[in-house]
Structure 1
Amino acid sequence: MKLTIVGCSGSFPGPSSPASCYLLTANDGERDWRILLDLGSGALGILQRYMHLSDIDGVLLSHLHPDHCMDLTGLQVAVHWDPNGWPAGRVPVWGPEATARRLAIALDMEPAGDLHQDFEFHRWVPGETVEFGPFRFSVHVARHPIAEAYAMRIEAVEPQADGTTARRVLAYSGDTDSCPGLLDAARGADMFLCEAAYHEGRDDAIDGVHLTGRRAGQAASDAGAKRLLLTHLPVWNDANRTVAEAQQTYAGPISVAVAGVHYLV
């Protein structure tokens, strides 16, 4: 399973990265499947460096803050208004219950049901496993100030040249503070893609919104994750400080996500 960092800037696009968007690619033995974890502000343009938009197999939304979902509006335009015709079917989208309504408001579109011409909406059910091509994914309730926020657990099973199969697990925090659902998503993951938007000492008075590097490291340690990839750092954060915080609580490999970088999970 390959992870491509399309965008990783926290809360809004930065000078070197869009907001949150992560491309996962896995092969089922016949073709590559591509799913997006979030599609935040500024991500749609950069995404086209790596793939044709009609090759999106599905979009998984962690929650409905703009820095995680707003470029779904641009994708709707691409699907609906391509003068050459959209060469694929409706795009499957998994997200909170209000996803279609949120998108309709952003597009000033009435009725919201018209969006079902372009998207196939699925509401998340926490703990329920969805099988989709080579992927199996589920969500777990996160702690963030919005009606529904989720951490994700994505598993890919890919056939190998020697006739065996490889099973890999990526966990993605979405936006969250420390909570049991985050640990459930990350348990034993090969890679834990985890937000760390706050700094110790600077943001101590804020509860239930974001993690610090230290709390992200503690979650990775408690969950037994094999690698920690820190993400969602706002432009005013110091990445070196974030890593140093995470090293206080996690002894495994730590990296910071950078837009345009590919990782093998």
Structure 2
Amino acid sequence: MRITVLGCSGSVSGPDSAASGYLLTAPGTPPVVMDFGPGVLGALQRYADPGEATILLSHLHADHCLDMPGLLVWRRYHPNRPAGRALVYGPADSACRIGVASAECGGELDDISDTIDLRGWSDGQVVEIGELTVQARQVNHPPESYGFRVTSANGRTLVYTGDTGMCESVVELARGADILLSEASWTHAADRPEGIHLSGTEAGQIAARAGVGELLLTHIPPWTSREDVIAEAKAEFSGPVHAVSAGDVYVV
């Protein structure tokens, strides 16, 4: 299993990266994209046909889903568009969120069911996509939000926190993972709000408590110091720590 970083800028797209989007590839498996924020559709075209992708949406904040209307255009109007509908997993109100963003006029709702086979998440749900097994766990973030544990056919595991504050469910989700792809949106300052995002310190604490093999930091906004977040995580976790960049590829 490989993970290619399509976008990793936190909360907004940045000068060097799209917002959140991560491509998973594995033998016998269609391209899988975790989150589909602004700029991800363009980045995906460098590596895979967007019309063949299965999409996993962790939650419906704009920086994680608002290139989905572009995917609708791709699948509806591309001259070589694939038959059938795109398989998309997401929170309960995904059809409304995407449909409003894709509508022709304000106050309207685009019926996306012609193009997307939309399936809802539930806490603890397990789905099979080709040779990959994906478990979703609800995490601590204001809308309905999920982290994912992805297991390959040979038993290797990648855990993606999505957006979350500190919570036990994300620690359990990450338990023993080979790679933890964790958001780290800010430093561990006293004035940061709780229950929204992780600091570098908290990402490192989760990695240490869960006993993961490697920690990859992501979702760092343009206004947050990458170096400070990395230093915080390294102070808590003794294993390898890296902050990802757009275009990075990791083998799990």
Q: TM-score range by the shorter chain?
A: over 0.9
2:27 corresponding residue in structure 1: 27
Query: Residue 54 of structure 1 contacts residue 88 of structure 1 at CA under 8 Å; is this kept in 2?
Result: no
1:198 corresponding residue in structure 2: 186
Query: Residue 125 of structure 2 contacts residue 137 of structure 2 at CA under 8 Å; is this kept in 1?
Result: no
Shift in Å, 1:85: 4.4
Query: Residue 8 of structure 1 contacts residue 21 of structure 1 at CA under 8 Å; is this kept in 2?
Result: yes
Query: Residue 122 of structure 2 contacts residue 138 of structure 2 at CA under 8 Å; is this kept in 1?
Result: no
Which of 168, 171, 178 is matched with 2:156 structurally? 168
Query: Residue 177 of structure 1 contacts residue 208 of structure 1 at CA under 8 Å; is this kept in 2?
Result: yes
1:260 corresponding residue in structure 2: 247
Q: What is the CA–CA distance in structure 2 between the aligned matches of 1:106 and 1:11, rounded to whole Å?
A: 18
Query: Residue 33 of structure 1 contacts residue 134 of structure 1 at CA under 8 Å; is this kept in 2?
Result: no
Paired residue type of 2:118: F
Shift in Å, 1:81: 1.7
1:142 corresponding residue in structure 2: 139
Shift in Å, 1:53: 1.5
Q: What is the CA–CA distance in structure 2 between the aligned matches of 1:2 and 1:51, rounded to whole Å?
A: 13
Query: Residue 102 of structure 2 contacts residue 109 of structure 2 at CA under 8 Å; is this kept in 1?
Result: no
Paired residue type of 2:249: H
1:180 corresponding residue in structure 2: 168
2:58 corresponding residue in structure 1: 62
- What does 1:107-126 align with in structure 2 at a 5 Å threshold? 107-108=102-103, 110=108, 112=110, 114-126=111-123
- Secondary structure in structure 2 of the residue aligned to 1:248: helix
- What does 1:73-92 align with in structure 2 at a 5 Å threshold? 73-82=69-78, 84-92=79-87
Shift in Å, 1:192: 0.3
- Secondary structure in structure 2 of the residue aligned to 1:23: strand
1:221 corresponding residue in structure 2: 208
Unaligned runs of at least 5 residues, structure 1: 158-165
Q: What is the CA–CA distance in structure 2 between the aligned matches of 1:62 and 1:233, rounded to whole Å?
A: 17
Shift in Å, 1:87: 2.2
Query: Residue 3 of structure 2 contacts residue 23 of structure 2 at CA under 8 Å; is this kept in 1?
Result: yes
Shift in Å, 1:167: 1.9
Shift in Å, 1:261: 1.0
- Secondary structure in structure 1 of the residue aligned to 2:155: strand
Q: Is 2:86 aligned against 1:98?
A: no
Query: Residue 184 of structure 2 contacts residue 200 of structure 2 at CA under 8 Å; is this kept in 1?
Result: yes
- Secondary structure in structure 2 of the residue aligned to 1:246: helix
Paired residue type of 1:18: A
Query: Residue 87 of structure 2 contacts residue 116 of structure 2 at CA under 8 Å; is this kept in 1?
Result: yes
- Secondary structure in structure 1 of the residue aligned to 2:74: helix
Paired residue type of 1:70: L
Q: What is the CA–CA distance in structure 1 between the aligned matches of 2:204 and 2:34, rounded to whole Å?
A: 21
Q: What is the CA–CA distance in structure 2 between the aligned matches of 1:205 and 1:244, rounded to whole Å?
A: 18
Shift in Å, 1:46: 1.3
Task: Give the TM-score normalised by structure 1.
Answer: 0.91
Q: Is 2:25 aligned against 1:8?
A: no
Shift in Å, 1:33: 2.5
Task: Give the TM-score normalised by structure 2.
Answer: 0.95
Relative to structure 1, the CA distance from residue 14 to residue 111 in structure 2 (aligned partners, 3 Å threshold; closer, same or farther) is: closer
How much is the aligned-residue C-alpha RMSD, in angstroms?
1.3
Q: Is 2:39 aligned against 1:71?
A: no
Q: What is the CA–CA distance in structure 2 between the aligned matches of 1:88 and 1:217, rounded to whole Å?
A: 44
2:148 corresponding residue in structure 1: 152
Relative to structure 1, the CA distance from residue 16 to residue 186 in structure 2 (aligned partners, 3 Å threshold; closer, same or farther) is: same
1:160 corresponding residue in structure 2: none
Paired residue type of 1:232: H
- Secondary structure in structure 2 of the residue aligned to 1:27: coil
Q: What is the CA–CA distance in structure 1 between the aligned matches of 2:103 and 2:51, rounded to whole Å?
A: 24
Q: What is the CA–CA distance in structure 2 between the aligned matches of 1:102 and 1:211, rounded to whole Å?
A: 25
Deviations 1:10-45 (A, max 9, x none): 0111010000000000113xxx53100000011111
Q: What is the CA–CA distance in structure 2 between the aligned matches of 1:12 and 1:238, rounded to whole Å?
A: 15
Shift in Å, 1:88: 3.8
